[in-house]
Structure 1
Amino acid sequence: MKKNSSTLIEKHGLGHAKQEIMDSVYECVTITPEAAAFLPAGTSKFGGAPDLPESLAYPEYKNIPLNFIGQVNLAELAALAFDGNPLPQEGILYFFYYDNWEEDDDVVFGEPDQKDGWRVLYWDGDTAQLRLVERAKVSYPQCKMAFSIQDKLPYIFLETDEDEEKFEELHDEWHLSEESEHQMLGLPVSVQGEVFEEVCDYVGAEEDEMVLLLQVDSDEENLDVMWGDCGMIYYCISKRDLAEKRFDRSWFSFQCH
């Protein structure tokens, strides 16, 4: 959804900083979960159980099945005609995580020694080979992913305290209609430190060489999930690894308040 950016900026008395604000705006793909009891195999979705081919083993961490976060049919994403979409035009991405926040102290935050605590799998074969994995660890309600292109406004620092207050009001109104921050591409909505800055060294890349594969917000209403204290989880990959479809080199981050 395109914002009436100039009108909003002028409304909040920041016309003098319009160019600086507009230069910070970025496009991304936002995801709205829609409850669905049944979905055809290969449909983009959060939760439920994954549709996997026999060639992909269900991932584990310490001999425990990972929680299935969701799957994205990249053809559905390509149909949006998102400018500069760096992802493959076909195939399915699967996202898994060892979600044990309330069970023990071994919380997977994205440290190098926890590398098997998350997984991103990619498959680009015939969808007729996909089967619902009944043995999957079903942890979240099944919801269809509805994709849309949106302009987002990140927090930026302006010169005066007065402008800072005005910008905060602008930011709140800009994102007023957004109930959650489920997202692909664009910039991560960081809860603590900058996500790309946090993970880039782990994959041997610079911050501007990182791509946000998936960001999943706390969402008790739709997904029955709370990441710590109103946190988010993020899956990122370097542009180099993405070009080579090396999704096994994706990195993960868990942030919360």
Structure 2
Amino acid sequence: MEVDDAGLAALCASLDADVAATVAGLALPSVRMQPADACDADAAVTRFEGVPLVGEDFAWPTTDDGRPLTLIGQWHCDELNRWIGAAVLPAGRLLCFFFDLQKQAGWGLVPQDAQLWQVTVTDAATASPAEPPAGVVTVPARSVAGLRVLTMPQSSEPAIEAIWAWASPASLRYEELWLEEGPDRKHRAFGWPNLQQGSMHLDCQMVTNGIELTRQGYRDPRVPGLQAGAAGWRLLWQVDTDEHGLGWMWGDMGMLYFWIRSEDLAAGRFDRVWVILQG
């Protein structure tokens, strides 16, 4: 959830010093990514949709049965780094995010769903537009207005549940931090997600280690041993339903979340991204 610095500071001032330090340490910067003006389909900028700019060895990603995925958006890493104020992404690179927009045949709940998305990395200086294959869903491109914001975990995240009890005075004050007047569509890079259902860090850790996200899966004896690694997952991109602006809806008015391990982000291993759809 997005918060403002003043509200977070006021909350921390009302808490014991050790608790305040813990809460303040959870704050993560994020980039609010609002659709702006229409732009060229092959513009070398951060944008929603359009045509991907890629390298010579690019092959349009498809599902296992040959259905082409849709370009959801393209990032120019230099722009994202500038917006967030840190060198988080590899300089001079373009990231193209593909997903199964047409059928949404899986929600990232089983290992086999990995066929439904792909993130490509290309040198921006040499990238060229790819020719969309027959049958792919194409949507007009929209440029992005990026704004750095501060985010905190929602109360149902384990990081918050470990600090205070639900409906305690501190918990109620914490809920008041949520900025309800934010944009209707919450497209954001990095930071904490806006949850539609439950926390996803452990989910990503489980499913990428071969455990299906079912009731029985959470009882798998391997889960306790995977919990420590769950904290290494971080949100890469949260893509909200935007039926009238961008022309997509995820599930039933849900959100699409691209996740990546911290070590993979540092190494530029975007082929290891995992996606979960909630809604």
Cα 1:185–1:202 shift into 2, 3 Å = same
Is 1:109 the counterpart of 2:107? The answer is yes
> Match of 2:152?
153
Question: In structure 1, how many angstroms separate the alpha carbons of the residues matched to 2:166 and 2:276?
Answer: 33
SS, match of residue 64 in structure 1: coil
Cα 1:165–1:244 shift into 2, 3 Å = closer
State whether residues 67 and 97 of structure 1, in contact with CA within 8 Å, keep that contact through their aligned partners in structure 2.
yes
> Match of 1:96?
98
Cα 1:190–1:81 shift into 2, 3 Å = closer
> Match of 1:213?
236
Is 1:28 the counterpart of 2:34? The answer is no
Unaligned runs of 5+ in 2: 156-160, 210-225
- CA shift digits 1:80-137 (9 cap, x unpaired): 3524x43212211111111245xxxx7211121122111111112524x412534372
Cα 1:52–1:138 shift into 2, 3 Å = farther
CA RMSD of aligned residues (A): 2.9
Alignment equivalent of 1:60, drawn from 41, 54, 62: 62
SS, match of residue 231 in structure 2: helix
Aligned length: 245
Question: In structure 2, how many angstroms separate the alpha carbons of the residues matched to 1:40 and 1:99?
Answer: 20
Alignment equivalent of 1:187, drawn from 168, 178, 192: 192
> Match of 2:202?
197
Cα 1:17–1:219 shift into 2, 3 Å = farther
- Within 5 Å, which residues of 2 pair with 1:40-51? 41-51=43-53
- Within 5 Å, which residues of 2 pair with 1:106-255? 107-110=105-108, 111-124=110-123, 126-127=125-126, 129-135=127-133, 137-156=136-155, 158-159=164-165, 161=167, 163=169, 164-171=171-178, 174-203=179-208, 206-255=229-278
Q: Which amino acid aligns with 1:191?
A: Q
State whether residues 42 and 52 of structure 2, in contact with CA within 8 Å, keep that contact through their aligned partners in structure 1.
no
Question: In structure 1, how many angstroms separate the alpha carbons of the residues matched to 2:5 and 2:261?
Answer: 32
State whether residues 48 and 138 of structure 1, in contact with CA within 8 Å, keep that contact through their aligned partners in structure 2.
no
State whether residues 258 and 274 of structure 2, in contact with CA within 8 Å, keep that contact through their aligned partners in structure 1.
yes
Alignment equivalent of 1:71, drawn from 69, 74, 80: 74
Report deviation, 1:71: 0.8
State whether residues 51 and 133 of structure 1, in contact with CA within 8 Å, keep that contact through their aligned partners in structure 2.
no
Question: In structure 2, how many angstroms separate the alpha carbons of the residues matched to 1:138 and 1:100?
Answer: 7
Range 107-116 or range 23-32, more displaced: 23-32
Q: Structure 2 length normalisation: TM-score?
A: 0.76
Question: In structure 2, how many angstroms separate the alpha carbons of the residues matched to 1:90 and 1:146?
Answer: 19
Report deviation, 1:44: 1.1
SS, match of residue 177 in structure 2: helix
Report deviation, 1:213: 1.9
Cα 1:199–1:38 shift into 2, 3 Å = same
Range 17-26 or range 213-222, more displaced: 17-26
Cα 1:73–1:134 shift into 2, 3 Å = same
Report deviation, 1:40: 5.6
Question: In structure 1, how many angstroms separate the alpha carbons of the residues matched to 2:117 and 2:180?
Answer: 30
Range 35-44 or range 177-186, more displaced: 35-44
Cα 1:89–1:2 shift into 2, 3 Å = farther
Cα 1:114–1:203 shift into 2, 3 Å = closer
SS, match of residue 97 in structure 2: strand
